[in-house]
Every structure is written in structure tokens, then in C-alpha cells.
Amino acid sequence: MSLRINSVAPDFTAETTEGTINFHDWIGDGWAILFSHPKDFTPVCTTELGYMARLKPEFDKRNTKIIGLSVDPVDNHARWAEDIAETQGTPLNYPMIGDTDLAVAKLYNMLPEEIDGSSEGRTAMDNATVRTVFIIGPDKRIKLMLSYPMTTGRNFDEILRVLDSMQLTVKHRVATPVNWQNGDKVIIVPAVSNEEAAGLFPDGWETVKPYLRIVSQPQ
């Protein structure tokens, strides 16, 4: 299945370190981040999962749940969590999916390119999930997709930045410019007429071009 922005996020039932979940039910009426890592007890993954654990309070503030995934069994996740807490200084505080049958990995296209288009000849590395991130909205639709190679750790501060941008644009009729950070000026979307904008942004805006109107970030 080809997933795109605004596709409905495939639903699934899976075993996690916090019990069995149905994904859509687990998301509830908030946002969610589903991210995969290649393998437990590996160096880059250890740093990533520890950093996400430190960021979890920030995601909580944004009504956003986080959940990890690899093809390792749940028991492995639980044992590895001890190493993450020891080396990264933060205990694992979100569920981890044990996708041993690759069911979720295949649903979300998390596996590297198949050899000869079939499972024949695949190695353990071929069956490891790449570093994929999905942000899913309260409507259960995919809002962001990112895939990184196995050797490159992700910038989860960027995931938080994009989440802030998307939640801002859901609430207000604005878009965020290049390198935007929370609190920076934003752009009034072209679909909003000047007449509408006057009601939405009574303090005014800067018109650089008719299609480029800069305004202070709404609260």
C-alpha cells in the first residue's frame, strides 16, 4: 500500500511493552507519533530512544502520544530499556511495539527495498526497519512522513518543530516559513482574503507581495 500525506493511517493491533493496543483506539482524540528503529541493543537507536524519552513531557503538552517500533520482541525491548535508562539518563516512558512478524512494518513501508521483490534471499538487516517517523492527527490521517537511513540518527527537535507548526495551522489560517521556530512570524495563507484577514488579524500584517503577507504568530 502506498502511503501519502493525508492517507488514513493503517490501523493495527499489536503487542507493546505496555500491553496489547489497537492503534486508532490508542491514539484517541489527540495526535500521535509512530517511529521505528532498526534494532534493539544498537548504539544510534539507544541515543534516539533516550532522547525521545526526555522529550516526552513536551509531546504531552501538545496532546501527542509517542510509540516506538522494531522487529524485536517485547521482552527484548524491556531488557534494552534498562540500558537506555543507564546510558541516556532517562527511563523509557512510552510504549514500544514488538513487530516480530513484520506486520506493522509492512503496513507502513518501514522495511528497506526487498531483494528481487520477494522475501527470498533477505538477510536480518533487510528485515530491520529503517528510521521512519509518522505524525498522525486526531482524524487518524498521516500529517508527516520521514525516512532516514539506518546509520543516521534523527533530529527529534525537528519533529517537535513540525508538530508545533501543524498544530498552529490547524488552529489559525497561517503557514510557517522556512526555518520557522515557535514564536516567529508566520504567513497568512493565500486562501484568506484581505477582508477576512482584517477580522482574523486585527493588529495588521506586512504585505511583501500580494501572496506573501507576514503576521505575528497568533496565540
Q: pLDDT digit string (tens) for 107-128?
A: 999 988 764 343 344 455 566 7
Could you give all domains of the chain from N- to C-terminal order, each with its CATH number?
13-154 (3.40.30.10), 172-215 (3.30.1020.10)
Q: Provide the pLDDT for residue 24.
A: 98
**Catalytic: which of 14, 27, 45, 135?**
45
Sheet of strand 64-70: strand arrangement: 19-22, 13-16, 96-98, 64-70, 31-36, 131-136, 142-148
Q: Does the predicted model carry a pTM greater than 0.85?
A: yes
**Range scoring the smallest mean pLDDT among 3-7, 122-126, 165-169:** 122-126
Question: Does 45 participate in catalysis according to the annotation?
Answer: yes
Averaged pLDDT for residues 57-77: 97
Q: What gap in Å lies between CA 112 and CA 107, rounded to an integer? A: 13
Q: Provide the pLDDT for residue 16.
A: 98
Please choose, from the candidates 179, 180, 216, 181, the residue with its C-alpha nearest in 3D space to the C-alpha of residue 197.
216
Q: pLDDT digit string (tens) for 191-219?
A: 999 999 999 999 999 999 999 999 999 98
